Amino acid sequence: MNRHVETGNATEAGLILFALITFVAFLSGSYAWFALAAFGFIWMLLSQRMLRSLGRNLELFEKKQRHRYFIGHDGYFTLTLKNDGPPIFQCVLTVDFDGYVQSPSVAAEDTTTGLQRVATKCSIGRQQSRTVTIPFTAHARGIARVRAVSLKIPNWTGLGNVHVELDTKGNQEAVVLPGQRFVAEQHRPLTPYEGAFARPYALYRDRLMPTGVRNYEYGDDFKDIHWKASAKMQQLQTKQYETVSDQSMLVSVNLSDGYGITGDLDALIEHCAYLAFVGIQNDLEIGLAINRQINGGVPYLFTPPSGGEGHLAEMLEQLASITKHNTLTIPYAKMIADLMYRRQQPAHWIHVGRRLPADDHQLRTLEKKGQTLSTLERSSNGEAAYLAPYTVLKHREEGAYGNA
């Protein structure tokens, strides 16, 4: 907690003045002036003592919580202030938070840091707590936290005020999830791997998913004979099963355009969010690899392919955490090489973002090893996007999306 008193020289000057008047009135025998000056002197002493005590035993409590919002949805931050010192009357509470959410009562906005400031008045009695709720509306993709909380406490016994800056730990997080931008999935190849996703003409059968029967043919497995159907049809019948294959996907995203963060960052993230939604809705296992630099054993954002709503929420939170202001990247080619080293190669690999020659060399290595590979292509005006089979990048297309 950072606390400082704002009085100027008024208190010290008042003490000296009242002390001088008291002394002169005592010597001159003017008891009325003596009483008045003594009262003023005592009042200034009490005022100074109050300034030393106000806000000294003030604590801020933030319950650790993490909520997810889509753009346009409403939420709130909750702050609890506990006062173990003198009563506080009509103080001005100021809260700074990230601009990914907007409050209807915004007092100021810092265009440099992107923080928004809300100010409100409140009073807290001695040995009491006060809970303050700050409503907001999700405005832009990102993770919003309360960054600073301060109070300007007026001295209700005299002159001056106390400015208190409370310590915030960022326990409350408002995760604004990205929107979705349509991708025409024109390329969903039939993979030669066994899995659990139903696909026509796949090489493998799921014996837990019978679809019907057909007449027995020479070479059919004995355990596939449907005896009840055979007795009814008076002819041997063979069970038919759903054909399945592995349709797991890994979406690898290149955030860099060779010089910095790509100018199409929002579009790329929204396309990835759409692919994640579609994959989970179709019960596909989908993973995400982004060349954003982080600390840890894996130096980039990576979520192995999996399924379920919890996995979808994790991927969307990773996408929400990427902004132009707080993102550093690692070379995309190194990320692909590391994924190959870790053998994180799904049935279907989707590349999103720009390709430089070094990046394309690694993708070409993947394809030569038999990896099914697609690229996200975008039209020249950026309004349409679709999945296309991977093709080698030509030198004249350096820095372009795929081969578009």
232 and 97 both lie in a single domain = no
Establish if 2 belongs to a structural domain: no
Strand partners, 79: 132
pTM score of the predicted model = 0.75
Establish if 121 belongs to a structural domain: yes
Strand partners, 172: 65
Q: Give the number of domains in the chain.
A: 4
What are 57-106's pLDDT values in tens digits?
899 999 899 999 999 999 999 999 999 988 899 899 999 999 899 988 77
Establish if 185 belongs to a structural domain: no
Residues 154, 161 contacting (CB under 8 angstroms): yes
What are 180-217's pLDDT values in tens digits?
999 987 556 555 555 555 555 455 566 667 778 888 88
79 and 161 both lie in a single domain = yes
Residues 347, 245 contacting (CB under 8 angstroms): yes
Nearest C-alpha neighbor of 305 from the set 256, 261, 345: 345
Q: Which domain holds residue 351?
A: 249-397
* Domain CATH for 344: 3.40.50.410
| Residue 247 three-state SS | coil
Establish if 188 belongs to a structural domain: no
Instruction: Among 129, 144, 177, give the residue marking a domain's end.
Output: 177
What are 208-246's pLDDT values in tens digits?
677 788 888 888 887 888 888 888 888 888 888 776 655
In the predicted model, what is the mean pLDDT of residues 362-373?
89
260 and 314 both lie in a single domain = yes
What are 293-313's pLDDT values in tens digits?
998 888 999 999 888 899 999
pLDDT level of residue 318 (50, 70, 90 thresholds): very high
In the predicted model, what is the mean pLDDT of residues 359-385?
87
Establish if 402 belongs to a structural domain: no
Top-confidence residue, 250 or 242: 250
What are 276-298's pLDDT values in tens digits?
998 888 878 899 999 999 988 88
326 and 359 both lie in a single domain = yes
45 and 85 both lie in a single domain = no
342 and 290 both lie in a single domain = yes
* Domain CATH for 138: 2.60.40.10
Establish if 23 belongs to a structural domain: yes
Establish if 133 belongs to a structural domain: yes
258 and 348 both lie in a single domain = yes
Residues 14, 42 contacting (CB under 8 angstroms): no
In the predicted model, what is the mean pLDDT of residues 316-337?
91
Give the C-alpha separation, 223 to 227, whole Å. 10
Instruction: Among 126, 148, 177, give the residue marking a domain's end.
Output: 177
115 and 49 both lie in a single domain = no
| Ramachandran angles phi, psi of 14, nearest 5° | -65, -40
Give the C-alpha separation, 56 to 3, whole Å. 8
Establish if 269 belongs to a structural domain: yes
385 and 270 both lie in a single domain = yes
232 and 254 both lie in a single domain = no
Burial of 288 (0-12, 13-18, 19+ CB in 10 A): buried
What are 94-128's pLDDT values in tens digits?
999 998 999 887 766 666 678 889 998 999 998 99
89 and 39 both lie in a single domain = no
384 and 288 both lie in a single domain = yes
